[in-house]
Amino acid sequence: MPDYNSSIELLHKFIKNENLIKHCYAVESAMRFYAERLNEDCEIWAVTGLLHDLDWEMYPDTHPNTSVPVLEENGYEKFVIDAILGHAYPERTNVPRETLLAKYLFACDEITGFIMAYSLMKPGGLNEVETKSVKKKMKDKAFARNVNREDILKGAEEINIDLDVHITNVISAMKNDKRVNR
């Protein structure tokens, strides 16, 4: 399977939008956080987070299915591809989230998006983001409408982590990543 550096190269080949790249790094950082904690393979978890939206910029209508041949050609393992397929709405891929890798990817995706959107409102950015205020802002339906609140709840449920704890974990992972927190 391609290593982390080859995965970074692949990412930049497909994604030019800075915000999307940042989102990919954010999901990667949360996946690393949990891989370490769970004693899972950090590189594989990082790469899965990094590449989960590989085709989003070029093929939003067929995301993430368009990534499959690319990932296969490049030698990514099936369980990584299945985890990536599992983060999408079932009507798109119909691949259930069976592995921890798949469950954590789904759990880290929308919440990083929400935290990032929220941090943009703060003068001090991510450093000023707190779990309590994130939770409160989640109730504001007009804010970051494209972030599905139900998926955030479902994600935390699937990994069996209290939502507050999960949000705290993800904030700290994002804060500690210089590419995300800048």
Query: Which parts of this chain interact with Fe ion (CB under 5 A)?
Result: 53, 109
Nearer to Fe ion among residue 28 and residue 129 (C-beta): 28
Express the helix, strand and coil content of the chain in percent, nearest 5 each.
65, 0, 35
**Nearest approach, Cβ of residue 2 and Fe ion (Å):** 20
Nearer to Fe ion, 39 or 89 (CB): 89
The distance of closest approach from Cβ of residue 123 to Fe ion in the complex, given in angstroms and rounded to an integer, is 26
Kindly write down the DSSP assignment for every residue of 30-84, as one continuous string.
HHHHHHHHHT--HHHHHHHHHHTTTTTTT-TTTTTTTHHHHHHHTT--HHHHHHH
Q: Would you say 39 or 61 has its CB closer to Fe ion? A: 61
CB 105 within 8 A of CB 29: no
Length of the chain: 182
Residue closer to Fe ion (CB basis): 53 or 82: 53
Task: Give me the least distance between CB of 60 and Fe ion, in Å please.
Answer: 9
- Shortest Å, Cβ 109 to Fe ion: 4
